[in-house]
Every structure is written in C-alpha cells, then in structure tokens.
Structure 1
Amino acid sequence: MENYSQEELDAAIQLISSTIINCEKMQTKFLEGTSQHSLLKNRIRALQIAKALIAKDSSIDLYTQLDIEKSLQPILSIIHKTKKAQMKYKEDTVQYKRMSPMISAMCISKAFIEAAIKKQHNK
C-alpha cells in the first residue's frame, strides 16, 4: 500500500514473523481443543495471512476470502490488548515504547487485510 514506506513494511514483516514463531512455541504448551490453543491457532493464521498480504507473497493464494475476512478479528484483538497494556505505562518509559512497534505492525496488517476484503467485495 502506498501509505507505508518500504522500511515500515519490512519492519512489520519482521515483527510479524517473530510473533508467529513465538505463538507457535507457546501453542505447544496447550492441549489441542483448549481455548488458549484455539486462540493461538487463529492468531497464527491471521498473522500468516497479514504477512503474505504485506509481502505480496504468492502464498496468499492458499487462503480463501473467508480466511482473509476471519483474520481481521485476531489482528484487532492484538491491537486492542497491546494498546490496553501500553496504557499502564507513561509514554517515556521503556515498557511503553517496547509495545509501539507491535501496534504499528498490527495497524499495517489491519490496513492490508481490510484492503484485501474491500478489493474482493468490489469485484
């Protein structure tokens, strides 16, 4: 998308990739069928879709339009939870600043997912 510099997109892709790895590691700690396992499964899928859209990767063809539409909610959840956690700290603290890249990457993800949904609906 034109609103973002290549540097911002690259940073988002890197952070999303790292988050996917961390979620996959955490997922093994929960039994399949538990709410935590399902949450992580949905989050991983949403992050993979966002990464493919941002990177303009051909792997996006592996996902249906419904998959793309369903990926929006986990991304919105990450934004909400991270902003809520960030509000506990003052703007000049390390803890506050540490969460800013995640919020930025998820907002970029949200924009790309919404654009993909809109594009499909306009066909």
Structure 2
Amino acid sequence: MSDFTKKDMEEALQAIASMIERGEKAQEKFAPGTSQYTLQKNRIKALYIASSLIKKELAKHDATDKYTKEDLEKALAPIASLISKSEKAQKKLAQGTWQHTMLEDNLKALYLASPLLTRALSLDLGP
C-alpha cells in the first residue's frame, strides 16, 4: 500500500499490539457471554486481523490465508467502531496529553488497517 511508509506500518503494528493487550485485559473483567465480553472479543479479533494484514504488507506475502472472508467482513464493524470511539474520545482531551497522543497513534493505525481490510475483502478468498 503505497500511501503508507514502512515506518507508518511498523508504528501501526505497535499501536495495534497495545490495543490488543489493553483489550485482553479489559475482557478479563467481564463474564463470558455478556455483551461487554463479546464486544471485546470481536474487537480483539478484528485487531488481530488488522495486525496480520499490516504484517502482510510489510513482508509482501499473503497473510490472509488464515482468515476467511466472513472473518474479514466481521472485522469491519469493530474497526469502524474503534475509529469512531477514538475520534470522539480524543476531542475531549487536551492536545499533548499522553491519552491524546495514544489515541492519535491508535487512529493512525486504524486508518492504515481499514483500507487493508477493505482491499483484502475485495480479493476472492473463497468461503
């Protein structure tokens, strides 16, 4: 994806890894089967897919083999939700704070991952 540099993609991977870690810690606080638990589960899976797609771009190999077209489709909504929530939260924070900076990094990563996900979906991946 020529719009993003190798450095952009490496930084996105770091931000996504951090989001996954925080999501997994948050998920532990909820009982399996609750809506909060399921929301975190879906977000975490979407972030793992995003990470895989970015790694694919960096390595120039096909990393989508381990995800079905259905997995990719299901990842769209959580990624879009994370973008929306992060944008709203960032507006409430003072620029220069660590929270604002963290959300800025997260948004860059999600904006990078979103078109990769869309592109992966446009490929004929089968069932």
Check whether TM > 0.5.
yes
Deviation at 1:58, TM superposition (A): 5.7
Match of 1:86 in 2: 90
Percent of counterpart pairs with the same letter? 38
Q: With structure 2 as the length reference, what TM-score do the two structures score? A: 0.86
The DSSP-based 3-state class of the residue aligned with 1:4 is coil
Q: Deviations over 1:53-88 (max 9, x none)?
A: 110176532211010011011000000001011112
CA separation in 1, counterparts of 2:21 and 2:77? 20
Give the RMSD, CA atoms, in angstroms.
1.8
Match of 2:81 in 1: 77
* Number of matched pairs: 120
Match of 1:20 in 2: 20
Q: 2:103 aligns with which of 99, 103, 110?
A: 99
1:109-120 matched pairs, under 5 angstroms: 109-120=113-124
Of residues 57-66 and 99-108 in structure 1, the stretch that sits farther from structure 2 once superposed is 57-66
- Structure 1 residues without counterparts, runs of 5 or longer: none
Q: With structure 1 as the length reference, what TM-score do the two structures score? A: 0.88
- Structure 2 residues without counterparts, runs of 5 or longer: none
CA separation in 1, counterparts of 2:63 and 2:79? 19
